[in-house]
Structure 1
Amino acid sequence: MTSTAAGRTATRTAPGPRLPSALRLGLGRTRIELRTFFRERDAVVFIFAYPVIMLAIFATVFGQDGGRVGPPPGIPYAQYFLPGMVATGVMLSSFQSLAITIAVERDEGALKRLRGTPLPAASYFLGKTGQVLTTSLVQVALLLAVAALVFDVPLPADAAHWATFAWVFLLGTAAGSVCGVAFSSVPRTGRSASAVVTPIVLVLQFISGVFFVFNDLPTWMQQVASVFPLKWMAQGMRSVFLPEQAEGFEVSGSWQHGATAAVLGAWLVIGLVVGVRTFRWRRRDDG
C-alpha cells in the first residue's frame, strides 16, 4: 500500500468531532431563553411584581384592624395569602408564560426556523424548562423576602417543611410547564394568545383559594377547583408556610399531601401526552 492510499484510508476512518449532547444543548438553550425573557421588560415586571403586589393589596385590605383567619389567635392575612401567591407565581412563570410565548414564537415563524436547525426538539424544551425553573426560583425568593421583611411573615425553620416546599414546587412547575406547552396550540394566533390564556389563569386564581380563604368559597366552586392543579399547589404551599393548627381549616381537615402529589402528577402526564400529540412547529395556515 502506498503512503497516499494509507493517508486516504486514515482520513476515511478518523473519527469526527463529537457532537454535543441534547442536555448540553439544552443548557445552552436555557441561557438563550433567559436572555430573551429578560429583554421583555413588561413581561418581567408583570411576572415578578404581580404576586408581590397582590400579596400587599390583600394583606393590607383584609388585615385592617388586626384581622386574622380562623379562630383566635388566628393567622395574619399576609401569612395566609402567601402560599397562594407562591402557587400563582409558579403558574404565571410556567403555564401562562409558556402558553403565550410559544404561541407567539410559532406565529412569528421562529419555531419553524428553529425546527430547520440541527437543534434537537428535546433541547428546545429543556431550554424552556430551564428558563421556567430559573425565573420561578427568582420570583419565589423575591416574594418570600418581601413577605418576611415587609409583612413579618415567619418562614419555616425546619428541613421537613422545606422538603415539602421543594417537591410541591418542582412538581407544580413541571406540571405547569408541560400544560403550558400543550395549551400553546390552542390560540389561533400569537396576538390572541394573551386573550385566551389570561382569563383562564384569573378564573383559576379566584376559585383555587389564592385571593380568598378556600373554605369560604361555595362548595361547587371548591369542587371545580379540585380538578385543576392550582388548588393543590396552593394547598401544598399552605402546609409549608402555615402553622400546624391551620390544617384543620382545610375542607378535608388535612393537608392531603398524597392527593396533591397525585393530582399534580396526573396533570404532568396529561400535559405530556396532549403536548406530544398536538404540539405544532408551524402556524395553522402554514401546512
Structure 2
Amino acid sequence: MNATALRAGLARGVIELRQAYTNAPDLIGQFVTPAITLGVLFLLRDKTYGETGMSVAELAVPGLLGSIIAFNGMYALLNVLVLDREDGTLLRAKAVPGGMVGYFTGKIVATAGSVIAQVVIVLGVSMVIIGGSSLSGFGAVLTFVWVLALGLLASLPIGAILGSALDTRTAFLLTMPLMGLIAISGIFYPITALPGWLQAIGQVFPMYWLGLGMRSALLPAETVVIELGESWRHGETLAVLGVWAIVGLVCAPIVLRRMASRESGSAMAARREKAMQRAF
C-alpha cells in the first residue's frame, strides 16, 4: 500500500507543480519578491564592496538564492499544511487508505520542485542582468547541487513541523521573525559587518550556511576574504545543515503522525469557529 501511496503522491506532486507554473496568480506569488529584490540589486550593480572589485549586487545574489531555499522551502510547506488542515483537505486525505502518505509525498515533491525551479530561474535572470555569478567547473556545480539538496532537507522538515502546530494567524505572525533571521544571516551583506553576538545567532540557523554555500559555488575564489575566517567553511556548512536535516527528518514524521491522528471533523469545526470569532 505504501508503494502505491508513494507513487500516487509523486504523481500528485508533479501535477501540483505543473499547475503552479501554468497559473498566473501562483507565478506572481512565487516570483514577485525575487523580482523586486533583483530590481533593487540591478540598481546597485555599479556600487562596489570594499576591495573585492565586485558590486554589492553580485555579492548579494547567492544570498538571495540561499534565502529562497530556506524561506520558501520552509514557509511554503508550513502555509499549505495550515490551510489544508483548516479547510478539510487533510481530513479527506486521512479517509483514503494510504492517503496521508500520498498527501505528504505530493506536498514535499511540489514544494521541493517549486523551490528548485525558483532558484534556477532567479540564478539565470541574475546572470543576465547583474552578472558576477557563474558555475565554472565541476567543483562549483557539485557544491551548488549539494548545498541546494541539503538546504531543502534542512528546511522542508521545519516547515512540516511548524505547519502541524500552527494556525493561520500564528503562521502569519511567524513571517517577521523569519525575516529578522534572514537579515542577520549575512544574506544581503557580509555577516562580518554585524556585531559578534548577532553573528553567533545567525550561524545557528540554516540561512547563513545556505548563503555561504551558494557564495562558495557562484563567486570567484578571491571573494572569500569577506567571509568569517576568510574561508568557505564547507565542513561546517555540511555539519550544520546536516544536523538540521537529521533532527528535522527524525522529528517531522513523529509530529506529522500525531497531528494526523488528532484530525477529525470536530477538530476542524473548532478551528473554523475560532477563526470566525477572530474575523468578527
Q: Is the 8 A contact 1:109 1:283 kept in 2?
A: no
Q: Separation in 1 of the partners of 2:221 and 2:10?
A: 40
SS of residue in 2 equivalent to 1:166:
helix
The equivalent of 1:145 in structure 2 is 124
Return 5+ residue gaps in structure 2 as ranges: 269-280
Q: Separation in 1 of the partners of 2:61 and 2:156?
A: 22
Alpha-carbon distance change, 81 to 285 in structure 1, aligned in 2, over 3 angstroms: farther
Give how far 1:58 is off. 3.5
Query: Are residue 46 (structure 1) and residue 29 (structure 2) matched?
Result: yes
Q: Separation in 1 of the partners of 2:194 and 2:60?
A: 15
Q: Separation in 1 of the partners of 2:211 and 2:264?
A: 35
The equivalent of 2:220 in structure 1 is 243
The equivalent of 2:47 in structure 1 is 67
Q: Is the 8 A contact 1:99 1:193 kept in 2?
A: no
Give how far 1:39 is off. 7.6
Q: Is the 8 A contact 1:91 1:173 kept in 2?
A: yes
Query: Are residue 212 (structure 1) and residue 205 (structure 2) matched?
Result: no
The equivalent of 2:207 in structure 1 is 230
Deviation string for 1:216-272 (max 9, x for gaps)?
Answer: 112111110111001100000010111111112111221111111111111112222
The equivalent of 1:197 in structure 2 is 174
Give how far 1:134 is off. 1.6
Which structure: greater helix fraction?
2
Moved over 6 A (4+): none
Of structures 1 and 2, the larger Rg is shown by: 1
Counterpart code for 2:124 = A
Counterpart code for 1:141 = V
The equivalent of 1:56 in structure 2 is 39
Deviation string for 1:63-118 (max 9, x for gaps)?
Answer: 4xx321231x5212221001111011112331010111111111111111101112
Q: Separation in 2 of the partners of 1:228 and 1:154?
A: 24
Give how far 1:146 is off. 1.4
Q: Is the 8 A contact 1:95 1:177 kept in 2?
A: yes
SS of residue in 2 equivalent to 1:68:
coil
Deviation string for 1:30-80 (max 9, x for gaps)?
Answer: 1343256458754532322312321321442x44xx321231x52122210
Counterpart code for 2:16 = E
Q: Separation in 2 of the partners of 1:143 and 1:123?
A: 30
Between stretches 31-40 and 245-254, larger displacement belongs to 31-40
Query: Are residue 161 (structure 1) and residue 143 (structure 2) matched?
Result: no
Return 5+ residue gaps in structure 1 as ranges: 1-17
What percentage of aligned pairs have identical amino acids? 29
Q: Separation in 2 of the partners of 1:247 and 1:284?
A: 55
Q: Separation in 2 of the partners of 1:274 and 1:136?
A: 22
The equivalent of 2:276 in structure 1 is none
Structure 2 counterpart of 1:221, from 193, 198, 201: 198
Alpha-carbon distance change, 108 to 75 in structure 1, aligned in 2, over 3 angstroms: same
How many residues align? The count is 264
SS of residue in 2 equivalent to 1:21:
helix
Structure 1 counterpart of 2:68, from 89, 98, 103: 89
Q: Is the 8 A contact 1:225 1:231 kept in 2?
A: yes
Counterpart code for 1:229 = P
Alpha-carbon distance change, 213 to 56 in structure 1, aligned in 2, over 3 angstroms: farther
Counterpart code for 1:76 = S
Deviation string for 1:152-189 (max 9, x for gaps)?
Answer: 334122111011000000110121111100111232x2
RMSD: 2.4
